[in-house]
Structure 1
């Protein structure tokens, strides 16, 4: 082996041993295979396997043998990995090996080694297992890890809940929920504060399920106060189970459509029709909730409620005006000539919603407007050459508004 190749492999191995990238081990495996296949490693990596008497290889020698292109060498090197825990990630890589004898021995070794791992080592190996589990034949190692996590002490599982690896965090939370290791209050707090939406949904549902019919403030307060709409929706739905369905009324005006829908369902289950509440909120004047017009459109009637929404397009608060435009669009009550003036609104939010509401008229002529004359044919252009069709007046208005919004942005 040339000194440069030796140094390169040694450096890559050192990076994999101390680094946090679970994919580094598969990359190391591929690099060593390529070097051996093209004669870059001399002597062959597994020569120490035939040494007399047998000896324990160095970490580098064992890593090279575990990545040897010859399946017999990989299989023969696996038993030595039991005495070198640092290379257990390479055993995980071999669990998805194409050669069945290598796979079987690697899986047996991984199954034997997992119970004795410290929490830090378990987290490191688990990240590699989940990464390699995406490969063909990699599911077996994932199953071994999942079975082990269902048995480890709580202290061993706790660090995995905050792992930097997203897939490992999700698996750890799922196992913790299955084993009832987290209280309903803790689950609600995780759901309200975690950044991963999968963990949020999982913990919110688990918190409500674990609390049963005794959902109290320690569960509801974090859920209802979460910044995530899906978590708030879970909390609003849980209000019915807690016998506090009336408290869902403020969430009729939530910024999330899912939360508003859950609030309407909760109130209806308690015998309260949300439509009169929306109509009263929209007719209240200055204290109109920002999303009351949108909620009214989601459950209202075009004939009865469109006039109210049209009146709110002149409200002093931009978010209410924008909500009224959204409501008109949802009710299919948009009237082009009447809505066009809002393209000059001082609020970019209102202009954006107006553009969205007027989009269906993008290729229509305004009623009563004669079609524009075709442009003159330039000098030197053949008479039968295709001439671009003139854009409609509506499309020109919308184009000007979009360019104006882009310039302001």
Structure 2
């Protein structure tokens, strides 16, 4: 007999078979999430094999694997209505679903799949079976039918969902919420979202806290908005969420609610605590609250903050207390160890007269200071190519990025060979910089650079080069509907020969069709032809 093991324990043959069936469903779910038609078809086949066993626990486990992926449930629903009717060699999976579903006595898998059948009468009978024996794994399939295009099916599903949530919100909400939000943009899908909101309003604290602490970002935002509107979150909880929640929207809304309460109750300690947060979106809300309660002197201390909005609020407070923000920034930049926020602030408020202060920082030992100084020169429109060329090979990738942004508008003043040298450098950030500096200099130069980059060892750079080379090639390919003129390849004979060599080298990366189009274009665009 075929005995197996799980966690060191010997399993009987029946359980080994069940494990194999569940494993097959798990693999089919993974493939169907991103696969083509046949991958979804294989998932239906795997589910039908589970249903044939007749074990309800096994069936619900398999159904749970599908129900846990809302977009896959939606895809299954569309797949059921688009199943091919012309299959000459085998009976389509969805036709077998109708044969397996017999009504209330059918198993969970057959019932869930039948609820997606193209025949409205079968869907209605499946909904009746779901409502008669509700369980969490089938709820996402019930939610889909609340937006059904057939009135009787839709009405029965809506009644079933409303009753289920009223009787067992704690059990069914975790399964209903993701599916309802997935369908929110659909026609007739508002009912499910409204029912979820009503269930949340009536849910116990344990239930909504469980949903707030789990699920994806969209679900947590929905739950947070509902409980926040009810006033169920106290200030200490809001402060904790503002300081530590991983979602920026939740942090910002929690900070706003906490600061609003702190302003009304004159809790300056809460505002000062949030003003020290590591998150800029929290600091700016807290500082705005301090301004509202007249604590401008506290706010002015944030003139050198690293966030632009925070600096803007601090400058507004500085104006009211009589502090000259520009002079403050000039003193900060002129210090031995200038703050990065002070450099950024000077770029936001200064003028050309402040350029010498920034030029002095181009050789600073701290990379962040050098990068911010280059950014400041760019914002003040005071970039001189000769002064920044030496920094284009800076050890810091951040400095290289800022120098590249600053040099792009004045790339014509650079040594002609510099971008090509960078494009062949051993450092990925320098190759990226060289490629950016070559953009906008004609089709021939852009195509040459893209073909070089398409063979790069860095996958991201190679993908960028491939995409640009493909775009240029397809723009040049003749199409009857083209309204824009074809790009002209104005190159010398030597440059043309190099393009041919590069195209041959990048042919594997570009693909057969693009490679053929590029070869045809280069052949028809030989100099002198």
Q: TM-score scaled to structure 2, two decimals? A: 0.62
Q: 2-side partners of 1:163 and 1:193: how far apart?
A: 15
Give the secondary structure class of the aligned counterpart of 1:313: helix
- Structural RMSD (CA): 3.2
**1:361 to 1:83, Cα distance in 2 relative to 1, 3 A:** same
Q: 1:321 to 1:89 in 2, by over 3 A?
A: closer
Deviation string, structure 1 residues 257-312 (Cα, Å, up to 9, x no partner): 233223223333444332221111112x2232123212101011223x12222223
The alpha carbon displacement at 1:82 in A equals: 2.4
1:248 aligns with 2:296: no
Q: Would the alpha carbon gap of residues 322 and 408 (structure 1) be closer, same or farther in structure 2, given more than 3 Å must change? A: closer
| CA drift at 1:170 | 0.6
Aligned pairs for 1:298-313 within 5 A: 298-303=348-353, 305-313=354-362
**What pairs up with 1:370-389 in 2 under 5 angstroms?**
none
Aligned to 2:124: 75
Alignment pair present for 1:295 and 2:345: yes
1:20 maps onto 2:59 in alignment: no
1:219 shift after superposition: 4.7
State how 1:227-376 maps to structure 2 within 5 Å: 228-283=279-334, 285-303=335-353, 305-343=354-392, 345-364=394-413
Higher mean C-alpha deviation, range 131-140 or range 353-362: 131-140
Distance 1:25 1:207, change over 3 A: same
Query: Partners in 1 of 2:270 and 2:356 — Cα distance?
Result: 43
Q: Distance in 1 between matches of 2:239 and 2:71?
A: 33
How do residues 128-277 of structure 1 correspond to structure 2 at under 5 angstroms?
128-213=179-264, 214-226=266-278, 228-277=279-328
Verify the 8 A CA contact 1:309 1:324 in the aligned structure 2.
yes
Q: Which of the two has greater helix per residue?
A: 2
Unpaired segments of 5 or more residues in structure 1? 50-54, 365-392
Unaligned 5+ runs, structure 2: 1-44, 53-57, 86-90, 431-529
Change (3 A) 1:350 1:191: same
Indicate conservation of the 8 Å contact 1:46/1:64, yes or no: no
Does the CA-based 8 Å contact 1:9-1:32 persist in structure 2? no
Q: Deviations over 1:155-191 (max 9, x none)?
A: 3211111122221101001011101111223212212
Identify if the C-alpha distance between structure 1 residues 360 and 218 changes in structure 2 by more than 3 Å, giving closer, same or farther: same
Under a length normalisation based on structure 1, what TM-score does the superposition of the two structures give? 0.79
User: Post-superposition shift, 1:95?
Assistant: 0.7
State the 1:107 CA deviation.
Answer: 1.3
> Contact 1:313–1:324 at 8 Å: present in 2 too?
yes
Q: Do the aligned partners of 2:304 and 2:339 also contact (CA within 8 Å) in 1?
A: yes
2-structure distance, mates of 1:273, 1:9 = 76
Give the deviation of 1:31 after TM superposition. 5.9
**Residue 376 of structure 1: aligned partner:** none
What SS is found at the alignment partner of 2:363? coil
**CA separation of 1:119 and 1:208: change in aligned 2, threshold 3 A:** same
What are the Cα deviations for residues 223-254 of structure 1, in whole angstroms up to 9, with x where unaligned?
Answer: 5322x322222223222134332233443222
Q: Secondary structure at the match of 2:187?
A: coil
Quick check: 2:165–2:172 contact (8 Å CA) kept in 1? Answer: no
1:118-137 superposed matches below 5 A? 118-137=169-188
